Amino acid sequence: MKKLLIVESPAKIKTIGKFLGKDFKIMSTMGHVKDLPENRIGVTLDDSIDIEYVILENKEKTVAEICKAAANSEEIYLAPDPDREGEIIAWHIDQEIEKTVKDSTLIHRISFNEITKDAILDAIAHPSVVDVKKVAAQQARRVLDRWVGYEVSPILWKRIAKGLSAGRVQSVALRLICEREEAIRNFKPEEYWSITGLFAHMDGSIQAELAQIGKKKAEIGNKKLADETVAKIKEETFVIDSVVDKKRIKNPLPPFITSTLQQAAFNRLGFTVKKTMQLAQQLYEGIPLEDKNTPIALITYMRTDSIRIAESAISHVRSFISSNFDKKYLPSKGNVYTKKSGKAQDAHEAIRPIDINMTPEKVAKYISKDAARLYELIWKRFVACQMESAEYAQRQVTIKGGQFVFKVTGSTLLFDGFLHVYAADEDEKEEKIVLPGELKEKDALGLKTVTPKQHFTQPPPKYTEASLVKEMEKEGIGRPSTYATILQTIQTRSYTTLDPKKRFTPTELGMTVNKLLVSNLPDIMNVKFTAHLEEDLDKIAQGELERDKLLREFYSTFSKDLKAFAGDDGKKIAEPTSIKCPQCKKGQLVIRFGKAGEFLGCNNFPQCNFTSNFKRNQAGEIELVAAPEPVVLEQTCPQCGKPLRRLVGRFGPFIACSGYPECKYIHRETASFICPLCKKGQIIKRRWKGGTLWGCNQYPACQFAIFGDIEEIPCPECKTPYLIKKIDKEGNVTLSCGQKGCSYKKILSHQANNNGNDIKH
């Protein structure tokens, strides 16, 4: 009999298999196997809190195969990821296995922070049991999210539009974005002036900025005052008032945790948070290098908020630094880091390379360009964290003439230390100021030029993915494993968009949803309240708080707010504007929400039926957008003979008869093959709010549909008359067979679409 090891991701099977050999069978749960039911809340709140779990729709076969293998195994090791989500997966699969394995002592929980032979064998040698405290913490989080999602969302459907959702954490993240947008819209720029003097010294020139007038800070608010000040400065004689020299030490940055990796990858590499986590997952689970059949794990677990480093890892990297760098770069002892906030769960190490000798240069030739760039970032940050500090010579020069005081600070890098490997972001942006070498107090200076410059105060910046993650971490909202999902959700729900500079802008829908939730559910939308809940979840995981106590306290307040929210008049939200209706000249325009999105309408509807699209300018002011005029085409309607015309509807452009409403003909793109399901209908292209679909014209009698685009190329394997076409962000085209049971797929590069490779799964 073999031993069975169960992991969460199938990508780990090959990586771990090479360490364990033929004695072990390795299987994957492929993520969660059980969850709350989709069509009901699944949580009963009576004398006890009961949670209903069901096997996920597509996981029955997976669970059955694992249970069958477990029944014939001498030992079973549960090895999902070492976090709360992994713990609940282990608990769920344990429940199912115990139905077929009579002796529960054969079932063990193991976890490891890195996928190496030593780590795997050590975990097997020291098995444990499922941590029910971690399970309880995950259950509490899941129940909280289910209550908010399932009980708040229907109210949003009634008050705003169908299909909206609320989330315990995502809604607070949305609030941060909306409040920042409000601050930007309400911002009033203020004028101010700076004055820069260029002074001549026997050893060169010194450029300094006016800092003080008398004993007060120089504050110049308009051109008149700036010109008057410049005139007075020109009358003065200047000398060096003081020269202060000191050394400045810059310490190395700690190794990456999830949030800092996401921020650095966004700022330096331009990666979205989602992309960073996908690439990090690959690096953690293993990627084939020289041997295409043997994946190698390159980094430790990537979901962590701990900056702790194993002593063995410190020893290895110090040895590497000693062998590859001058001895001056190696400190006398290893650098130890502790997180200041004290909120780190510290279940895992920081993110670091598993083998420091696996340099980015060695790895880059075998893995994708983006994976190599992320690995290089992680590798360099980790090496740098165990190097000496950088040292600067800093000189501040004060120049005085009458009541005017100018100051400038110059900085010279004496020793680069850790910057030799990894420069901090601020170092890359820092403007280098070079001062003459021989400067002494009382040295006379000649005023060469004095330059006033107008400035305006700037509004707070919009959030990027990096700065939003930083803010959520600072406020204690969410956890490392949730950041990517939160950012993805607020975009897919159309609550926010990203501008060309990848900055979040809330949509009208997002602003309205946020306003409604903040006014009706003050607790769940409160940043501090949400952060406190995260701390309580940590306490449950540590055994310091009971799961049900937290849930009851939350629901007690939540249910009261919810009852008042649901009991409102139920009218659809219409956001008022200050714009008078251009049609009836009496009503005011309001923002309404329809199936195709937001639009302006008159508040005198139905007496006045004026509607218009709109946009906001940079100041946040609403501007009406005229609908494009229909374009008359040369083709004629096949039903009535009148000209066809191209129009723009709620789902995009379409072609229809100009004789509407008498003739309701709409041109449809038609496929050349008949419906594969009913064998008689035509397949026509339709537009809907989710994109395009090809469906049978016999609908609703026949419900055949293909969502997305198609190519009328027969499948080479099963002869289905079409292939489904998908295009990714890089422009690569994938053609795949939509027939159940057929795995044909062809990938075409966007650079050479004729050189695709057939892939069999």
Report the half-sphere exposure of 656 (CA within 13 A, side-chain side).
16
The domains of the chain, with CATH numbers, are 3-130 (3.40.50.140), 152-187+463-566 (1.10.460.10), 191-251+390-456 (2.70.20.10), 264-385 (1.10.290.10), 575-625 (3.30.65)
Q: Are 397 and 408 a contacting pair, CB within 8 Å?
A: yes
DSSP 544: S
Give the per-residue pLDDT at 212: 96
pLDDT, averaged per 10 consecutive residues of the chain (761 residues), comes to 92 90 93 93 91 93 96 95 93 95 93 92 95 96 94 90 87 96 93 97 92 95 97 96 94 95 95 95 93 91 91 95 96 86 61 96 95 97 97 94 95 94 71 80 95 96 96 90 90 89 93 93 91 93 95 93 78 86 92 82 90 84 83 90 83 82 86 88 78 85 87 87 79 80 73 37 31
Report the half-sphere exposure of 740 (CA within 13 A, side-chain side).
2
Residue showing tokens 């890359």: 428
Q: Are 165 and 573 a contacting pair, CB within 8 Å?
A: no
CA distance to 27, 56, 237, 279, per residue, from 30 (Å): 9, 11, 77, 18
CA 223 from centroid of its chain's CA atoms? 44
- The two tokens of residue 571 are 């009218």
- E strands along 125-218, which residues? 191-201, 204-213, 216-217
Give the per-residue pLDDT at 594: 76
CA distance to 7, 78, 127, per residue, from 106 (Å): 17, 11, 11
Give the per-residue pLDDT at 425: 67
Give the per-residue pLDDT at 344: 46
Give the per-residue pLDDT at 759: 36
The whole-angstrom separation of Cα 535 and Cα 118 is 34
Sequence-separated (6 or more) residues with CB below 8 Å from residue 687: 649, 651, 652, 654
CA distance to 188, 372, 737, 746, 751, per residue, from 756 (Å): 55, 24, 15, 6, 10
Q: Is 429 exposed, middle or buried (CB count within 10 Å of its CB: 0-12, 13-18, 19+)?
A: exposed
The whole-angstrom separation of Cα 232 and Cα 197 is 13
**Length of the chain, in residues:** 761
Catalytic (active site) residue 301: yes
Give the per-residue pLDDT at 596: 66
The whole-angstrom separation of Cα 132 and Cα 301 is 22
Give φ, ψ of 371 to 5 degrees.
Answer: -65, -40
Catalytic entry in 284, 301, 375, 722:
301
